[in-house]
Structure 1
Amino acid sequence: MSTRGGTLQAPAEVRTEPSGQAGPARLRLVVYILALGTFLMGTTEFVVAGLLPEIAGDLGVSVARTGLMITVFAVGMIIGAPLMAMLTLRLPKRLTLMLALAVFAVGHVIVALSSDFTVLLAARFLTAIATGAFWAVANVAAANAAGPAASSRALGLVGAGAMLANVVGVPVGAFAGQLIGWRGPFWALAALSAAAIVLIARTVAHDGPAQQTVSVRSELTALRSGRVWLVLAACATTTGGVLAAYSYIAPLLTDRSGIASGIVPLVLVGFGLGALAGSLVGGRLGDRRPHTVTIVAAAGATLLLLAISLLAGYAVPTIILVTLLGFFGLGANPVLMALAVRFAKQAPVLASALTVSAFNLGTAIGSGIAGHTLDSSLGTTGPAIVGTVIAALTLIPTILIALLQRRCTAAAA
């Protein structure tokens, strides 16, 4: 794997450490800086949910319409990640990351200053495109910096930045918005992203001459790999299944489990902590046994969602199950991203971007289907049942990937 030329060439199979070798090497500082960037991205994506009443009241629009700020952001992520990956393909990765953060900061300044709802939606879409570009390139930059033996661990840390946003960034942003006004968190995110530009400039290495030979045509070769499409399918179903249930977990907790509304944020923090731990553990284990991690995570998420559907009437078991769902449901995400980059060979940027789109597409479809079940006979357990079915589908691509990899390894031997 080239760590300077911008081309990610992963080995055909995952190698374990020799028995006498010391533990895994410490990750480079740049990986932690990139994780800080995804922390900002994750915070802006979800903090709006905690500020909807304040934004709606200030702008004089309904809460339901204000929710379009979340929808528009998701659409921007789906479109923006692969589109910007292609448009910035020949740019050095460091410059792309800095430009993405700059646009991210400008988008937040526009939101903080504007009182026109249409302008706010446009700014959110612009911010989402910048987020998609940053996320796609950050994954490749982190994997390059870590090397082939620790790429999943590096991607796990980068992904953990977004998970930490759910635990720290979103609650703090919502609390600050209630104290100083909803525009305050957007000013803070703009300032922090500006500071992150300086850190990126000092830590991300220059791309070498190999970057100049990269073309859109070579990147599109990633679409010819059947294994890449299987990974993308797994990305969509694993996230779609988990977030189908998580998006509507509050009514299930209050209406079925009998949990007080004031306790619900603590349960959500538990989910976030579980997701953070799962991302770190999954990334560390994924460098050695990627297929085991993805299959076990899919099976675990399916069983947990089924258990939530059946035990939703009991408060304590449901709280424990929701926390474990965060661990198993999102723990394999960095491994899936690493596999996509590995299978894409000479097209790592597009593969990374497509995983970002797949995660968001799965979330949009899963939560959309789950929302319609609330008014059905299934009631508040409907989203968890929908999530169980979607998560179970993840077993199909993950098992197929493992079988294909075993066949390729046997053929090479």
Structure 2
Amino acid sequence: MSTHHLEAAPHTESGNTTPAQPRLPLVVYVLALGTFLMLTTEFVVAGILPEVAGDLKISLAQAGGLITVFAVGMIIGAPLMALLTMRLSKRLTLVLALVVFIVGHVVVGLASDFSVLLAARFVTAVATGAFWAVSAVVATRAAGAQAGARAMGIVSAGGALATVLGVPIGAFVAQMAGWRGTFWFLAVAATVAVVFVARLVPEEGPSTQVSSVRTQFSGLRSGRLWLALLACTTTTGGVLAAYSYISPILTEQAGIATALVPLVLTGFGVGSFIGTIVGGRFGDKHPGLITILTPAVTTALLIAISATTGLPWVMTALVVVLGLFGLSANGVLIHLAVTFSGKAATLGSALAVSAFNAGTAIGTAVAGATLSSSWGIHGPAAVGAVIVFLTLVPTIALALLQRRKARSASPTQAKGMASAER
């Protein structure tokens, strides 16, 4: 585990000192960079969906399969690769994941057969799942117990930054050089990322213990872990049900010009970036508040998006605020999953990745089906609202369990459990 130094504690008027939060180690920001690329490739298809469908001469729902298959790949790949790479160093696993990521994007850039594209996206997703699962554990351990949620907030903010910069840039590149140019751009960027990860992610020391498969599975007995995983599934599934079809929602439903779509996506990304950092900063001390408030507000926003027609400025504002709240609890939920899984931290993190993407796969599939129903283009946001609302069931249950455990503990123990770490 990396060590880090405390910042100088500021003096109060009484002469006492107030302990400052520890600085996060550099590795956390390096992993945020990798997450930026990984989440860009997952979300970028949403911004170029009409271009992909038009070039391949398929429907929007079929093109959305590139999003769904990626989610399925991460569902399977994250826990599978967590077990298969258990005896490899964390750094080597991250580098190998990036190499596979690069190859997958080169294949997408060259292939014209849709089935080949689906296969390449699936393999890329397996690598992405491995990177995300391992990076969560490395970041959490490097930051320490008192800043784990904050570290995951930064790493998750790398994913949020993907919607600020990655998706809009990908949409812009697609307009300038065709949608395949977006994937070539990502392949080149990932090549640069390999160098940073290989040089800056520390190698594990000789005292690092490699747990057995039995130990990993023993960590799955925690009921609170499964509640956190359920929340991961519904919160992301609901938001991505709408976001996966955000381009046609903006153009066909709200009447926003195609050329302005990247700007609206940037607004969503800025909101998501800010919300994720804020959620992580407060998540160590107030996990219940963050994980209950965000889905409640997100549900209301998705209902409003579904009901809005022909109001471009209103829709733009709703999408930006959706970014602020929609995924801002994800870092906290990952931290909870890692914490509740005990010694099986890597597998717990991997299952969180699988849960996020299970929700994405289900949400995008159901949302795509509504496009051909009477709901039409209003369907994805309506489906998303229902799915996100279900998040309140596990998050309220977790908050009640934590409160009950705190009441039954001694005062000293209750204070130590304030961050829901145990």
Q: TM-score, normalised by structure 2?
A: 0.86
1:54-91 per-position Cα deviation (integer Å, ceiling 9, x unaligned): 66676x65355554433322211111011101111121
Change over 3 Å in CA distance of 1:373–1:330 after alignment to 2: same
Q: Secondary structure at the match of 1:346?
A: coil
Computed over aligned residues only, the root mean square deviation of the Cα atoms, in angstroms, reads: 2.6
Alignment counterpart, residue 74 of structure 2, candidates 49, 74, 77? 77
1:162-194 per-position Cα deviation (integer Å, ceiling 9, x unaligned): 221122122222322443444443333223223
Alignment counterpart, residue 33 of structure 2, candidates 33, 36, 47? 36
Shift of residue 48, structure 1, vs aligned partner: 3.6
Task: Name the structure 1 match of 2:407.
Answer: 410
Distance 1:174 1:316 in 2: 20
Q: Tell whether 2:368 aligns with 1:371.
A: yes
Distance 1:122 1:288 in 2: 42
Q: Is contact 1:156-1:282 (8 Å) kept?
A: yes
Q: Which runs of 5+ in 1 are unaligned?
A: 5-17
Shift of residue 287, structure 1, vs aligned partner: 1.4
Q: Is contact 1:56-1:66 (8 Å) kept?
A: yes
Distance 1:139 1:227 in 2: 18
Q: Tell whether 2:144 aligns with 1:147.
A: yes
Change over 3 Å in CA distance of 1:39–1:76 after alignment to 2: same
Q: Tell whether 2:341 aligns with 1:331.
A: no
1:146-175 per-position Cα deviation (integer Å, ceiling 9, x unaligned): 111211111111111122112212222232
Task: Name the structure 2 match of 1:232.
Answer: 229
Distance 1:128 1:246 in 2: 18
Aligned AA for 1:195?
V
Q: Please, which moves more after superposition, 106-115 or 308-317?
A: 308-317
Q: Is contact 1:90-1:212 (8 Å) kept?
A: no
Distance 1:92 1:393 in 2: 38
Distance 2:255 2:173 in 1: 28
Shift of residue 134, structure 1, vs aligned partner: 0.4
Distance 2:269 2:381 in 1: 17
Distance 1:29 1:119 in 2: 38
Q: Tell whether 2:50 aligns with 1:62.
A: no
Q: Tell whether 2:315 aligns with 1:318.
A: yes
Q: Is contact 1:90-1:211 (8 Å) kept?
A: no
Taking every aligned residue pair, what percent have the same amino acid on both sides?
A: 60
Change over 3 Å in CA distance of 1:281–1:142 after alignment to 2: same
Q: Please, which moves more after superposition, 131-140 or 165-174?
A: 165-174
Q: Secondary structure at the match of 1:331?
A: coil
Task: Name the structure 1 match of 2:9.
Answer: none
What does residue range 125-274 of structure 1 map to in structure 2 within 5 Å? 125-209=122-206, 211-274=208-271
Q: Tell whether 2:80 aligns with 1:101.
A: no
Task: Name the structure 2 match of 1:90.
Answer: 87
Change over 3 Å in CA distance of 1:161–1:224 after alignment to 2: same
Distance 1:208 1:306 in 2: 50
Shift of residue 199, structure 1, vs aligned partner: 1.6
Distance 1:342 1:304 in 2: 30
Distance 1:364 1:405 in 2: 30
Q: Is contact 1:252-1:312 (8 Å) kept?
A: no
Shift of residue 259, structure 1, vs aligned partner: 3.6
Task: Name the structure 2 match of 1:10.
Answer: none
Distance 2:175 2:92 in 1: 36
Q: Which runs of 5+ in 2 are unaligned?
A: 4-11, 411-422
Distance 2:52 2:318 in 1: 33
Q: How many residues align?
A: 398
Task: Name the structure 2 match of 1:290.
Answer: 287
Q: Please, which moves more after superposition, 38-47 or 133-142?
A: 38-47
